[in-house]
């Protein structure tokens, strides 16, 4: 019998990894299918800060939703200093804790060291935690706290998005 898992994807971190490190888009459905081999997936959450009125992002959100992925989104805000903020780390943390009774394994698709405390908390509840990212984008504290680490580079042949010509 497969263990039950929940996947939590930090959209901003995931985008950065694809664009600036891998230089390759990832097919999220293929990624989910990769994990379905080992796990019964309870749910997949994708956390996204978005620009209101951005048609490309709206299409991406629809694609995720129609693929069975739960999209948690909030609009990007411009701060007084002119920078933009759209952080959803707290949302991901709350969802991971509120749904903890529905899975044995949490798959965190992020390299953000801010999630180290979440990992230790979930481990106190007996959860296995897998970190999925790249070495360049992952805080050593997060890798140290997790039970397993999977480098996206190793999965690229299986999960890369095939561009249509």
- Model confidence at 162, pLDDT cuts 50, 70, 90, reads confident
Using the CB atoms, write b or e for 73-83: b if 16+ within 10 Å.
beebeeeeeee
CATH entry 3.40.50.1010 includes domain 9-159:
yes
Q: Which two tokens stand for residue 102?
A: 């529905």
Domain parsing of the chain, residue ranges = 9-159
Mean pLDDT, rounded, for 21-38: 96
Q: Which two tokens stand for residue 103?
A: 């899975």
| The pLDDT value given to residue 1 | 85
Summarize pLDDT for 34-91 with one digit per residue, the tens: 999 999 999 999 999 988 888 999 999 999 999 999 999 998 887 888 777 778 999 9
Whether 165 shows a pLDDT value over 80: the answer reads: no
- Model confidence at 160, pLDDT cuts 50, 70, 90, reads very high
| The pLDDT value given to residue 53 | 85
Summarize pLDDT for 106-148 with one digit per residue, the tens: 999 999 999 999 999 999 999 999 999 999 999 999 999 999 9
For 2, other C-beta atoms within 10 Å of its C-beta total 12
């Amino acid at each position: 019998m497969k263990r039950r898992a929940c996947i939590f994807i930090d959209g901003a971190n995931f985008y950065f990894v694809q664009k600036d490190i891998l230089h390759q888009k990832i097919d999220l459905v293929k990624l989910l299918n990769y994990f379905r081999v080992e796990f019964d997936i309870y749910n997949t959450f994708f956390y996204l800060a978005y620009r209101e009125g951005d048609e490309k992002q709206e299409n991406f959100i629809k694609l995720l939703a129609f693929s069975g992925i739960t999209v948690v989104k909030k609009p990007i805000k411009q701060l007084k200093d002119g920078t933009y903020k759209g952080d959803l780390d707290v949302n991901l943390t709350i969802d991971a804790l509120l749904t903890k009774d529905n899975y044995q394994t949490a798959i965190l698709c992020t390299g953000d060291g801010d999630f180290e405390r979440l990992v230790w908390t979930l481990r106190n509840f007996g959860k296995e935690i897998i970190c999925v990212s790249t070495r360049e984008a992952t805080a050593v504290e997060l890798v140290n706290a997790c039970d397993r680490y999977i480098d996206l580079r190793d999965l690229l042949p299986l999960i890369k998005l095939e561009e249509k010509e």
